Amino acid sequence: MKFAIQINEGPYQHQSADSAYFFTKAALAQGHEIFRVFFYHDGVNNATRLTTPPQDDRHIVNRWAELAEQYNLDLVVCVAAAQRRGMVDEGEAKRNGKDATNIHPRFRISGLGQLVEAAIQADRLIVFGD
Amino acid sequence: MSILHTVNKSPFEKTALAACLNHITPDATILLFEDGVYGALQGSQIAAHMQQTLTTNKIYVLGADLKARGFDTDRLIPGMAVVEYDGFVELVAQHDKVQAWL
């Protein structure tokens, strides 16, 4: 079965950022397909490659990136939510005249249409948030 | 059309669970996770309403979130079923839609 995942909350802030990961991991382990993971609202903060948690804590960003590497997941960050929060990739940095980027290379920035498409294409949309 | 309703809010903080209970149909299933697991405990203000709901609907509780909050399964209202993340995935697959009460 095809699942789409939506995450509305940031890492180390709300449990939903962890719940979404554990759900996605369990779904993949059962052989389900994850059509897309869409990071919306404060959820876009799950995509910063500059995250540096203490060594004995989970690395939420790398955890997503590793799962994406293993299963070739499409991790999409909402562009409008990202711009508001200073989440920038190279294209956005150039376009908006910023001097740095912080999006992890395993994530990509795109629009809300990607969430709508995921909701249409997937058999189930599961939303995690506050 | 069966719906899985997910509730991740404590019923003593937010009205998400109350709203969910007011809207479910008899073929619907509820999954309580994160702070939503507080709604599954015995002896609370909402316990009688939950017990009544259990006569018409199945209610599941995410075991990991219950344990993370220091509760054993013997604190649950009788009739509540415990699942882990793999069970959560199965519930999603078994129902036609998932409604998150955020």
For residue A99, give the CATH number of its domain.
3.40.1260.10
Tally of domains within chain A? 1
Question: In angstroms, rounded to a whole number, what is the distance separating the alpha carbons of residues A35 and A15?
Answer: 23
Strands (E), B26-80: 29-32, 58-62
- pLDDT, position A50: 98
Are the beta carbons of A19 and B34 separated by less than 8 Å?
A: yes
Domain of A50 in residue numbering reads as 2-128
Rg of the Cα atoms in chain B: 12
For chain B, what percent of residues have pLDDT higher than 90?
A: 99
Inform me whether the C-beta atom of residue B88 falls under 8 Å from chain A C-beta atoms: yes
Q: Which domains does chain B have, with CATH numbers?
A: 3-101 (3.40.1260.10)
Choose among A26, A125, A127: nearest Cβ to B85.
A26
- pLDDT, position B57: 98
Please give chain A's pLDDT, 130 residues, in tens. 999 999 999 999 999 999 999 999 999 999 999 999 999 999 999 999 999 999 999 999 999 999 999 999 999 999 999 999 999 999 999 999 999 999 999 999 999 999 999 999 999 999 999 9
- Confidence band (pLDDT; 50, 70, 90) for B1? confident
- At how many degrees (to 10) do helices A16-29 and A60-71 cross? 20
pLDDT above 90: residue B42 = yes
- pLDDT, position A5: 98
The residues pairing with B50 across neighbouring beta strands, listed in sequence order, are none
- Give percent helix, percent strand, percent coil of chain B, each to the nearest 5: 40, 25, 35
Question: In angstroms, rounded to a whole number, what is the distance separating the alpha carbons of residues A52 and B101?
Answer: 32
Question: In angstroms, rounded to a whole number, what is the distance separating the alpha carbons of residues A62 and A74?
Answer: 15
Give catalytic residues of A, as residue numbers. 78
Are the beta carbons of B33 and A19 separated by less than 8 Å?
A: yes
Question: In angstroms, rounded to a whole number, what is the distance separating the alpha carbons of residues A64 and A126?
Answer: 17
Question: In angstroms, rounded to a whole number, what is the distance separating the alpha carbons of residues B17 and B7?
Answer: 6
What mean pLDDT do residues B86-90 have?
98
For A105, the 3-state DSSP assignment is: coil
- pLDDT, position B43: 97
For A128, the 3-state DSSP assignment is: strand
